Structure 1
């Protein structure tokens, strides 16, 4: 009996690993940024608890993704060629740096530095490899027909590295690292402008339905928010650094514009959600994409508080503080829904396995 249970458990875990979505690290991103938001509003105990959950979840996902890469390379390769999910792989870069930034301490910056260094080769591989694969692959339909909010993870991953670089530079005063952070921030801004045009045109030109209007479109706001966070971190770098001296005005102006644009998107994204679940009659239940809603809300809150404090904009700071509470409630609801969904998901997996025998 015990051997049978062990085999069934191993088979279930194997199935879950094989089907693991590329964007699975969105859970770590969302949990890590809400932990940061809690820390900024003084909820230390809850902040630490979420940080532990984020790290634990991140470690488990690293093991699962490494297992999948070794055991099921064809599945991974198929995902990398699929424009609807390929950019999800960039969640690993963003998750590493979201946790790294949360762990930053001016006295002991080692964890942030180590995690940023680990993310660099992954960023280089994915930020060039995924677009190149999609552009040069053999296909019957253009990749742009599958463009959705997940494509903004290209921006999110880049700006997560820009944020980490700026934070590390603020501690050691490195001119080179400060220049790298501003360069990455600028690349992220240009990528956002390009992708916002492409994805919005696709939304306006395609026939949309509840399946295509997914929670991933919230990354519209998540991408602007993390760009604002990176910009606010650059703005507090020492003005004596040459790159800061020549770019402060540009960074401050564009950061505010992107903050306002990210805020503008939120009501429209809520309309998308209402249409999807009410008129489109899509059941409101757990799906992994819901973490793509939690992360933008948490990131927008953290970015607003950082930018508001850096530029002495009390209204921006206040919006961020309110947003932190909203993000925490959405995180709690999503986490609870995930826990409730686990038994149902396991039953579905077992049913699929039984049908395939």
Structure 2
């Protein structure tokens, strides 16, 4: 088997985080006035999504045993939720950058189907699995990708609801609200275990992999959904009646995500600066780029929905950090691919 074929067989289920990161950075560019950059990100992301779908289908057809092993592994299974989030983020990107509602509706259907299939397959498999790792080996920030996937369905539903007539608008807003609440409950369950693992069990530099940034990213996308539900309140009576609750929890999610940022930066400095852990390209780094873009987009959307104009300088600064992180990671990916194709065999 060639090195390229072997790489496809071992393709990380988390690789759709590339689509998540590119999509949300593109959306954030559009929101902050970088329209040409947003168009470029959209074109690139459509191509990336098509390639990853083709590679994933090939992998499922040729190596179902490897796929199933990943889907039943505590460290690898949550990565499959990036396919849900990537699909829905791309759908939102198509709406906000290109106004392609029909294509976004198709992606919404794919995202919902993937969410249902993966949620109940993965959590059932991990529940009935006879042999399980200890908590410190089995739980990572990557588990919060289940939250991100759930909230990505919610945010695309809320976006589509703004452009459909009744009663579909009402139905999609109710779905968005239900998924938003479900995602919040999932976060509470999972972050409790992650925080316990942080503070009461030994932590080595290798344990602090980039998906720990999803601790913040899951709260950022929850903020984005809350802001869109607030904007949609005039179109659904149940949202209008819950408006104080929506506003309170949206700020709750945003402030929690904001709390995580300094903590994650400090731990990254400890990992790479103090402990000298090598920084080399890994597909998991896309899980660190996505939260930066999502925090930018969510803060901007919340500030507009709730007239919190004093927060606007934050996304104007974070969009630069998100674009820089995306560019560095993308260059790392290209160099990694170049080494792969240059290698003999």
Q: Is TM (by shorter chain) over 0.5?
A: yes
119-128 or 170-179, larger mean C-alpha shift: 170-179
- Kindly indicate whether the alpha-carbon contact (under 8 Å) linking 1:41 and 1:321 is maintained by their aligned counterparts in 2: yes
Q: Provide Cα deviations, 1:179-235, integer angstroms capped at 9, x if missing partner.
A: 111011000111111111111112222211111111110000110011011111111
Which residue of structure 1 lines up, in the alignment, with residue 83 of structure 2?
Answer: 92
Which of 118, 122, 125 aligns to 2:114? It is 122
Which residue of structure 2 lines up, in the alignment, with residue 7 of structure 1?
Answer: none
Which residue of structure 2 lines up, in the alignment, with residue 35 of structure 1?
Answer: 26
Task: Give the 3-state SS of the residue equivalent to 1:67 in structure 2.
Answer: helix
User: Greater Rg, structure 1 or structure 2?
Assistant: 1
Counterparts in 2 of 1:167-182, with a 5 A limit?
A: 167-172=159-164, 173=166, 174-182=169-177
Does 1:215 pair with 2:214? no
- Kindly indicate whether the alpha-carbon contact (under 8 Å) linking 1:225 and 1:303 is maintained by their aligned counterparts in 2: yes
- Kindly indicate whether the alpha-carbon contact (under 8 Å) linking 2:230 and 2:243 is maintained by their aligned counterparts in 1: yes
- Kindly indicate whether the alpha-carbon contact (under 8 Å) linking 1:145 and 1:202 is maintained by their aligned counterparts in 2: no
Supply the distance in 1 between the matched residues of 2:282 and 2:137 (Cα, whole angstroms): 23
- Kindly indicate whether the alpha-carbon contact (under 8 Å) linking 2:94 and 2:100 is maintained by their aligned counterparts in 1: no
Structure 1 residues 70 and 143: alpha-carbon distance in aligned structure 2, compared to 1, 3 A threshold: farther
Counterparts in 2 of 1:330-349, with a 5 A limit?
A: 330-346=325-341
Which of 280, 284, 290 aligns to 1:289? It is 284
Supply the distance in 2 between the matched residues of 1:149 and 1:24 (Cα, whole angstroms): 16
Structure 1 residues 143 and 76: alpha-carbon distance in aligned structure 2, compared to 1, 3 A threshold: farther
Counterparts in 2 of 1:1-357, with a 5 A limit?
A: 11-104=2-95, 108-142=100-134, 145-172=137-164, 173=166, 174-346=169-341, 350=344
- Kindly indicate whether the alpha-carbon contact (under 8 Å) linking 2:115 and 2:150 is maintained by their aligned counterparts in 1: yes
19-28 or 195-204, larger mean C-alpha shift: 195-204
- Kindly indicate whether the alpha-carbon contact (under 8 Å) linking 1:232 and 1:310 is maintained by their aligned counterparts in 2: yes
Supply the distance in 2 between the matched residues of 1:205 and 1:143 (Cα, whole angstroms): 11
- Kindly indicate whether the alpha-carbon contact (under 8 Å) linking 1:218 and 1:296 is maintained by their aligned counterparts in 2: yes
Structure 1 residues 16 and 286: alpha-carbon distance in aligned structure 2, compared to 1, 3 A threshold: same
Supply the distance in 2 between the matched residues of 1:112 and 1:268 (Cα, whole angstroms): 35
- Kindly indicate whether the alpha-carbon contact (under 8 Å) linking 1:175 and 1:243 is maintained by their aligned counterparts in 2: no
Supply the distance in 2 between the matched residues of 1:284 and 1:144 (Cα, whole angstroms): 22
- Structure 1, unmatched stretches of 5+, are 1-9
Supply the distance in 2 between the matched residues of 1:22 and 1:126 (Cα, whole angstroms): 12
- Kindly indicate whether the alpha-carbon contact (under 8 Å) linking 2:232 and 2:239 is maintained by their aligned counterparts in 1: yes
Supply the distance in 1 between the matched residues of 2:17 and 2:124 (Cα, whole angstroms): 23
Task: Give the 3-state SS of the residue equivalent to 2:131 in structure 1.
Answer: coil
TM-score, structure 1 as length reference: 0.91
243-252 or 94-103, larger mean C-alpha shift: 243-252
